[in-house]
Structure 1
Amino acid sequence: MSWHRRPLCGVDLETTGVDPEADRIVTASVVRYGGGLSTARRSWLADPGVEIPEEATALHGVTGEHAREYGRPAGDVVEEVVAALAEEVTAGWPLVAMNAQFDLTMLDREARRYGVRPLTDRVSPRVLDPRVLDKRLDRYRRGGRTLTDLCRHYVVQLDDAHTSEADAVAACAVVWKIANRYRVLTRTSLEELHAQQVEWAREQASGLRDYFARTEGKEALAAGVRLEWPLVPAWDGAGR
């Protein structure tokens, strides 16, 4: 049976900002989607221990006051999210994450911050990233490539965008729609597809870095484009 006929495990994080090295998780969701079963959902609200900027609240709707009052200790949330993902990977399901480099790197850094054993030290996930897949398979399409854009293009319903649960479910639905449209993916093993995405993501990031480098006013952005996917390795203090 093709992988897209079996369950997918979606993950999404909403955070205090866009820097995985410095920002913190606010909400997280892990969903099991497809395979002929009802969608299973687990969600968490964390107290990140830092202020939530207004611009982040404007996206996901969680204020610092709300997180402090109702959120659970961040370390406990990170441990439970990592454990939930490890359980799904052990069951044989691929992880689906929109812009996986961000979410998986953020989760990795939070795990290290709180002394939690990181996900990739527990299991070796096979990752499916709708953004990487779409940019590879329909590279010349004009327009944006946000999750909202992809949902519109692949006719996937997205209610409550920028809430972790809705985004995790929508990312899985988009991956399923992409696989159903581009059947070559369904004839490719998850191991091979993961390896292909490593190369595709590198090519895509290299193109973005080159664009920044040659575009007046954007040159400084080039240095911030990382080529690794789906996880930027943690700096070990020895320059590696």
Structure 2
Amino acid sequence: MQLNLKNPLVFFDLETTGIDIVKDRIIEISYVKVFPNGKEESKTMRINPGMPIPPASTAIHGITDDDVKDCPLFKNVAKQLAAQIEGCDLAGYNSNRFDIPLLAEEFLRAGVDIDLTRRKFIDVQTIFYKMEQRTLAAAYKFYCQKSLENAHTAAADTMATYEVLKAQLDRYPELKNDVAFLSEFSSFTNNVDFAGRMVYNDKNQEVFNFGKYKGRLVEEVLKQDPAYYSWMMNGDFPLNTKQKLTEIKLRGFNAK
């Protein structure tokens, strides 16, 4: 099934030094850019993370420090990558919880201004979990009747994710071939920040989604406990979370 697209849709996958959105870095990114007319463009690039790759991570994706020592830093390719995904919607496997938050962090660290919040995000894993409850390899076998060779390489995982989404649309008539629908369907929560530390409630108000103030309005907490803002800004939170928190705080000042 050809995807029904209004904007180009970029399927992408990251291989990283680990799973900490704040501390870990990208070492490989692969994407397949699908255009509304069905045309496809793909690219894979290795990135020097500027830090050692833990052996436990190498054991998963097979990429070593020596493999990336002569590769560019993310900041050197950030503008090029941003230009490739500008105006595109994004899709991946577990991308809403990991790949998109980490990619946003890398762009912020590189000082590249790209507003991902205006894009639609499709998380194929979420669709799969809501429908069948499996891993990517199992999803590929289940939907496409193929074995996933070279799993945990960005290129293989990216193409498998693209194929799985098309097969999901063929299999489930209740899934609309529409990016806006798939984006909403593949989201568990309506996040304010990519890491989901803050979410929108049923009144479209920002509330904290963790800690002692979970469920409380962010604006209300910042007024009643100003030190909480400083604690978060000095804490080990993603840059995107701090950015959104600051926007809410400044909005409160401007409203006075």
Shared topology, TM-score over 0.5? yes
In structure 2, what is the equivalent of residue 96 of structure 1? 91
Match of residue 179, structure 2, among 175, 179, 190: 190
Aligned 8 A contact 1:3 1:190 in 2 = no
Q: Report the CA distance shift for 1:5/1:194 in structure 2 as closer, same or farther (over 3 A).
A: closer
The SS at the match of 2:102 is helix
1:108-162: CA deviation from partner (whole Å, max 9, x where unpaired):
00111111113416xx222221110011123xx5xxx321121122124522211
1:49-103: CA deviation from partner (whole Å, max 9, x where unpaired):
100111111122211122113x11221233322321225x1xxxx4221001200
Cα distance in structure 2, aligned partners of 1:201 and 1:156? 33
1:162-201: CA deviation from partner (whole Å, max 9, x where unpaired):
11111111101011111110022135x3223322333478
Q: Report the CA distance shift for 1:146/1:34 in structure 2 as closer, same or farther (over 3 A).
A: farther
Whether 1:158 and 2:152 are equivalent positions in the alignment is no
- Quick one: which amino acid aligns to residue 118 of structure 1? I
In structure 2, what is the equivalent of residue 209 of structure 1? none
Cα distance in structure 1, aligned partners of 2:53 and 2:15? 11
Aligned 8 A contact 2:18 2:24 in 1 = yes
Alignment of 1:220-239 (within 5 A): 233-236=240-243
Aligned 8 A contact 2:3 2:38 in 1 = no
Q: CA deviation at 1:46?
A: 0.9
Cα distance in structure 2, aligned partners of 1:59 and 1:156? 21
Aligned 8 A contact 1:33 1:40 in 2 = yes
> Which one has more relative contact order, counting CA pairs under 8 Å at least 6 apart?
1
Aligned 8 A contact 2:4 2:179 in 1 = no
Q: Quote the sequence identity (%).
A: 26
Gaps of 5+ in 1: 203-221, 224-230
Cα distance in structure 2, aligned partners of 1:174 and 1:67? 30
User: Which protein has the larger Cα radius of gyration, Structure 1 or Structure 2?
Assistant: 2
Q: Report the CA distance shift for 1:95/1:44 in structure 2 as closer, same or farther (over 3 A).
A: same
In structure 1, what is the equivalent of residue 80 of structure 2? 80
1:26-50: CA deviation from partner (whole Å, max 9, x where unpaired):
0001113587856421111111110
In structure 2, what is the equivalent of residue 137 of structure 1? 131
In structure 2, what is the equivalent of residue 19 of structure 1? 20
Gaps of 5+ in 2: 192-209, 212-237, 250-256
Match of residue 106, structure 2, among 110, 118, 130: 110
Mean Cα deviation higher: 76-85 or 29-38: 29-38
Q: Report the CA distance shift for 1:12/1:54 in structure 2 as closer, same or farther (over 3 A).
A: same
Q: Report the CA distance shift for 1:201/1:134 in structure 2 as closer, same or farther (over 3 A).
A: farther
Q: Report the CA distance shift for 1:166/1:33 in structure 2 as closer, same or farther (over 3 A).
A: farther
